């Protein structure tokens, strides 16, 4: 079983144990991939809607079939950073994650520190293995299999998962999808971007 299949199967087990139906699944970044796979493989009859934000589908890594993708060397650098000094790596990563390296950024140091705190809670092996999961998993067939309404949100200035390689490709693969790109927004959801996305998600849930 591929790691992302395990993510989706774990979620399916939780949904079964809780006896949930008519559910809406929401996922950010790698979690967006998990939401899509769960809905495609386990969601028939119980998932009513799917929403993703800054999500990795359809596939991130560059290949012969995905020439516009991100070169594997970029993901190798992430793995090297995690192994060499993950604490400093996460501190540095918080800048492009939240767009703190952009002129005019209002992201707080506290927000960046919390990103570091949450990242450090992940086990070293899990963080290392996850790089292959989010970069190399192909969700194309999962996206094609979705029949429920899907809301695809993405920051225009996402430096982690570029919008042109992800959301703008995904919307063309889903039968009933709506794409909203947030001008100037980064990968991390905070501040004005978070407030606008929250409003849009609530409207999507109620529609």
Of 94, 119, 135, 158, the active-site residue reads 158
> How far apart, in whole angstroms, are the C-alpha atoms of residue 105 and residue 95?
10
Distance separating alpha carbons of residues 54 and 31, to the nearest angstrom: 9
Give me the catalytic one of 28, 29, 135, 170. Answer: 29
Alpha helix (H) residue ranges in 23-177: 30-42, 72-98, 109-120, 124-136, 140-145, 167-170
Q: State how far the Cα of 95 lies from the Cα of 37, in Å rounded to an integer.
A: 29
Selecting among 28, 42, 154, 187, the annotated active-site residue is 187
| Count of beta carbons in the 10 Å neighbourhood of residue 204 | 19
* Residue 158 designated active-site: yes
Cα gap 27→25, rounded to integer Å:
7
pLDDT of residue 31: 97
Determine the pLDDT at residue 1.
65
pLDDT under 70: residue ranges of the chain: 1
SS3 category, 180: strand
- Residue 47, strand partner residues: 23
Helix axes 3-18, 124-136, angle to 10 degrees: 100
Please report the pLDDT score of residue 2 as a whole number.
76
Sequence-ordered strand ranges (E) for the chain:
23-28, 47-53, 150-155, 177-182
Strand order in the sheet with 47-53: 23-28, 47-53, 150-155, 177-182
- Domain boundaries in the chain? 3-206
C-alpha radius of gyration, the chain, whole number:
17
Model pTM score: 0.95
Task: Give the domain 3-206 fold.
Answer: Rossmann fold (3.40.50)
Q: Is 207 a catalytic residue?
A: no
The two counts, helices (H) then strands (E), for the chain are 8, 4
The pLDDT of residue 79:
97
Sign of CA dihedral 155, 158, 160, 164: positive
Residue 135: active-site member:
no
């Amino acid at each position: 079983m591929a790691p992302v299949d395990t993510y989706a199967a774990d979620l399916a087990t939780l949904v079964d144990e809780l006896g949930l139906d008519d559910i809406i699944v929401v996922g950010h970044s790698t979690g967006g991939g998990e939401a899509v796979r769960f809905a495609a493989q386990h969601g028939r009859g119980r998932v009513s809607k799917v929403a993703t934000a800054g999500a990795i589908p359809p596939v991130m890594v560059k290949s012969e079939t995905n020439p516009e993708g991100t070169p594997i060397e970029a993901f190798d650098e992430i793995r090297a950073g995690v192994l060499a000094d993950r604490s400093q790596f996460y501190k540095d990563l918080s800048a492009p994650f939240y767009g703190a390296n952009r002129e005019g950024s209002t992201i707080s140091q506290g927000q960046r520190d919390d990103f570091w705190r949450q990242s450090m809670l992940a086990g070293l092996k899990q963080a290392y293995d996850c790089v292959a999961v989010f970069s190399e998993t192909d969700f194309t067939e999962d996206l094609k299999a979705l029949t429920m309404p899907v809301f695809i949100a993405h920051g225009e200035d996402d430096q982690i998962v570029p919008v042109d390689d992800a959301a703008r490709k995904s919307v063309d693969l889903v039968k009933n999808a709506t794409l909203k790109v947030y001008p100037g927004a980064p990968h991390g959801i905070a501040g004005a971007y978070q407030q606008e996305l929250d409003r849009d998600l609530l409207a999507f849930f109620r529609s």
